[in-house]
Structure 1
Amino acid sequence: MKKNLLPLALGGLGIGTTEFVMMGLLPDIATDFHISIPVAGHLISSYALGVVIGAPLLVAISSNYEPKKILLALMGIFTLFNALSAFAPNNTTLLIARLVSGLPHGAFFGVGSVVASRLAEKGKQAQAISLMFAGLTVANLLMVPIGTYIGHHYSWRYTFGLVAVIGLITMLSIKLWLPRLPVDRTGDIKTELALFKRTEAWLIILITAIGTGGLFAWISYIAPLMTNVSHFSANQVSYIMVLAGLGMVVGNVIGGRLADKMEPVKACIVLLFAMAATLVLIFLFSGSQSVSLALTFIAGALSIALATPIQILMIKTAAEAEMLGAAATQAAFNIGNALGAFFGGLPIAAGFGFNSPSLVGACMALAGTFFAWLLIKKQQQVKVAF
């Protein structure tokens, strides 16, 4: 990995850790604050809401500054409020800290995607962006299990302290290794917000929110799927999640290379079709432990492989609002997280079993391919017009 891309990967490591480790810490936080698990679950929603709010907002108001200063400021907010989370005296304080710590998430990946593409060699922009997302995959593979272990055996507060330390290291690496790039802004906020008047931008947001939401419909309920359908023990679920994380590491590399070798929108279609097929297979064959493990690895790979093609697609589409567009896709990913968990839970509530969310996910992934097809048609119309 190039040294000047390492700060972006470290930022992804910290962000990925604080986002996903909360799922494993909920029982400990609920016990500590004497609240129910569902109430503690609002801490996940609070962070996601922060991402959705902060992604377009922080990019829009900071675009006049050079990227290096923006990334330092974003990581400063992230570090401060994760540190405050470690000292939260009650659930309300932690809820607010989680909301604010989520604000820089989408903006960091949005600005970071543009920086990575500008630092990359010609024809390797997607691979450079995938290196930034490598931090996110390592977080799921290593840091989330480590953070969960620390939270269970010592204190969840130490886990947030660890995230804050990662944030400080990231800030130092940005300061030392990330080169200064000139401000590349040709318009004002009004011009950049015009991005959301374009049909192509909304189609990409729908591809992201609906298509990737299909994956979240599956992974949100992977624990009961593995214990009730595949008949693994509860103690084995954490190791299964490591397997999914390993798949993400592999998928991140595949997604970057695929997006460099073919048009990003076509890469999205290929990956979404593969996701839909995998989720159908999960529905059909989760009763077999060996097949279930193989499909978990594949689904994990597909979950992150989509990230880079979608970012490249939005950067190319956004033109004069690259950072805002890239940040908007991060907000859409988190909307997909919420939609997938909601729609995936409906068949379970109706009594259809813990493998039923994967069918919902397959339908959402196929819907994502439909929006990608519409985007191709729209792009063809634009070319004909010119």
Structure 2
Amino acid sequence: MQDASATIAAPADIPASELAVTNVPLTILALAMGGFAIGTTEFAAMSLLPYFAAGLHVSEPMAAHAISAYALGVVVGAPIIAVLSARLSRKFLLIALMAVFGIANCLSAISPSYGWLIGFRFLSGLPHGAYFGIAALLAASLVPPNKRAQAVSSIMLGLTIAMIFGVALATFIGQHAGWRWGFALPGLLALATMAMIAAFAPFDRPDAAASPMRELSALQNKQVWLTLATGAVGFGGFFAVYSFTASTLLEVTRVDAWVVPVVIAIYGVGMTLGTIAAGRAADRNLMATPVWFMLASAASLTLFPLAAGNVWTISAVILLIGFFGSLGAVLQTRLMDVAQDAQTLAAALNHSAFNAANALGPFLAGIVITMGYGFPSAGFVGTVLALLGLAIWLYAWRDARRAADRPLNDW
């Protein structure tokens, strides 16, 4: 059974008259559109790297700092925005965050130099974590408690679908019309998101008791930190492999260059299917779902080096890695349960944790690869990180059971 010690996230204070006429599917679609815009710019920057490096006359390793600048913006922006916006309407805040995101991406598109691009990519990342966290809280407030994880998963589908279609579209546009248009596309998607949220999302009254200090109270909660650590470490396994998949395909599998984006898009297919499955499973048993997913993720990551020699086997393993790495919405839902009165900060920090994983996984895999074990060895690094994430989650589950004085085997 689901952890009865958890507290259900309080819904936003939405007037009953407006909630009654709210079109929930269209509202969630609007919120997912924002996820699609964010996912497109986050992952397309990697595929556009050779083009903006050449356009700005810098080396590719130096140009990669623009990707790091975006991730740093996510890590910094998520907690600061969440704390400072505690007394703002969620609907207003989501529109404002999309406005900043859209403007920053358009500025990236017209960057006159490498230095300006670094600054604009940092600004583009600032709204990322806060947007997903607040969108998840709003979506969860519109559905019954036993549908929360599915609602949050629907928001995350925008991100995973962007890995399939958004990145391909931005890359195609960037290749044929210039890399600047690849950054302008998310700006246009942000404009569409703002219009949809304004049209479909219900207006919520800010919580009069909300304050920056109350949001900061989340940092005193052990379960919040353990949930964040699960994502920061456990999801690092996915990024360890994802970051070196292209190199593995070219150097080990020896596919033609045009095959690489096709195979990498399979990650998005797997994550889309996995996000749907994980959301449904978590609504039945929130605490057990990450256990089975991380066990399967560790097994899938172990298969990566063994499957690297053939394009069909590595594609199948990539599908599994994407599927079982889809725990973002589940961890987001868990944070809603344990954050108590600090919902916004905890929800936003979830995406800071995943960007920490984005830094940790490739860093550790890079060390092993430079030791001479080859690109496929990233899979074994990923396995270790997935198992460490599982250990953190099991400890968190055990700690929560002990605090609630419940039997350890009561799932």
**TM-score, structure 2 normalization:** 0.91
Cα distance in 1 between the residues matched to 2:216 and 2:273: 35
Higher helix proportion: 1
* Runs (4+) off by over 3 Å: 184-187
Aligned counterparts, 1:319-334, within 5 A: 319-334=340-355
User: Which residue of 1 is the match for residue 292 of structure 2?
Assistant: 270
User: Which residue of 2 is the match for residue 34 of structure 1?
Assistant: 57
**Post-superposition offset of 1:208:** 0.5
Deviations 1:215-238 (A, max 9, x none): 100000001112222232222101
The residue type paired with residue 84 of structure 1 is L
Please tell me whether the aligned partners of residues 246 and 300 of structure 1 are also in contact (alpha carbons under 8 angstroms).
Answer: yes
Among 287, 293, 310, the residue aligned to 2:331: 310
User: Which residue of 2 is the match for residue 354 of structure 1?
Assistant: 375
Please tell me whether the aligned partners of residues 91 and 203 of structure 2 are also in contact (alpha carbons under 8 angstroms).
Answer: yes
Please tell me whether the aligned partners of residues 15 and 136 of structure 1 are also in contact (alpha carbons under 8 angstroms).
Answer: yes
Find out whether 1:378 has 2:399 as its counterpart. Answer: yes
Cα distance in 1 between the residues matched to 2:199 and 2:213: 34
Aligned counterparts, 1:201-350, within 5 A: 201-263=224-286, 265-303=287-325, 305-350=326-371
- Aligned-pair identity in percent equals 36
Cα distance in 2 between the residues matched to 1:141 and 1:323: 29
**Post-superposition offset of 1:26:** 0.6
**Post-superposition offset of 1:186:** 3.8
**Post-superposition offset of 1:191:** 2.3
User: Which residue of 2 is the match for residue 59 of structure 1?
Assistant: 82
Find out whether 1:102 has 2:125 as its counterpart. Answer: yes
Aligned length: 383
**Post-superposition offset of 1:185:** 6.0
The residue type paired with residue 292 of structure 1 is I
Q: For structure 1, which segment, 294-303 or 185-194, has the greater mean C-alpha deviation from structure 2 after superposition?
A: 185-194
Secondary structure, aligned partner of 2:111: coil
Please tell me whether the aligned partners of residues 63 and 185 of structure 1 are also in contact (alpha carbons under 8 angstroms).
Answer: no
Please tell me whether the aligned partners of residues 6 and 132 of structure 1 are also in contact (alpha carbons under 8 angstroms).
Answer: yes
Among 365, 375, 382, the residue aligned to 2:386: 365
Please tell me whether the aligned partners of residues 86 and 210 of structure 2 are also in contact (alpha carbons under 8 angstroms).
Answer: no
Cα distance in 1 between the residues matched to 2:109 and 2:53: 15
Structure 2 vs 1, CA of residues 94 and 362 (structure 1 numbering), >3 Å: closer, same or farther? same
Cα distance in 2 between the residues matched to 1:290 and 1:332: 32
Among 121, 143, 146, the residue aligned to 1:120: 143
**Post-superposition offset of 1:153:** 2.0
Cα distance in 1 between the residues matched to 2:125 and 2:376: 31
Secondary structure, aligned partner of 1:234: coil
Find out whether 1:5 has 2:28 as its counterpart. Answer: yes
Deviations 1:197-219 (A, max 9, x none): 22211111110100000110000
**Post-superposition offset of 1:289:** 2.6
Q: RMSD between aligned alpha carbons?
A: 1.3
**Post-superposition offset of 1:288:** 3.0
The residue type paired with residue 339 of structure 2 is A
Cα distance in 1 between the residues matched to 2:215 and 2:393: 23
Q: For structure 1, which segment, 220-229 or 310-319, has the greater mean C-alpha deviation from structure 2 after superposition?
A: 220-229
**Post-superposition offset of 1:187:** 4.2
Secondary structure, aligned partner of 2:342: helix
Gaps of 5+ in 2: 1-23, 407-411
Cα distance in 2 between the residues matched to 1:122 and 1:330: 22
Please tell me whether the aligned partners of residues 258 and 267 of structure 1 are also in contact (alpha carbons under 8 angstroms).
Answer: yes
Please tell me whether the aligned partners of residues 255 and 307 of structure 1 are also in contact (alpha carbons under 8 angstroms).
Answer: no
Q: For structure 1, which segment, 265-274 or 336-345, has the greater mean C-alpha deviation from structure 2 after superposition?
A: 265-274
**Post-superposition offset of 1:25:** 0.6
Cα distance in 2 between the residues matched to 1:98 and 1:83: 10
Secondary structure, aligned partner of 1:35: coil
Find out whether 1:86 has 2:106 as its counterpart. Answer: no
Deviations 1:126-168 (A, max 9, x none): 1111111111111111010111111122211111111111010
Deviations 1:221-262 (A, max 9, x none): 001112222232222101112222211221111111111111
Cα distance in 1 between the residues matched to 2:77 and 2:142: 25
User: Which residue of 1 is the match for residue 13 of structure 2?
Assistant: none
Among 167, 170, 174, the residue aligned to 1:144: 167
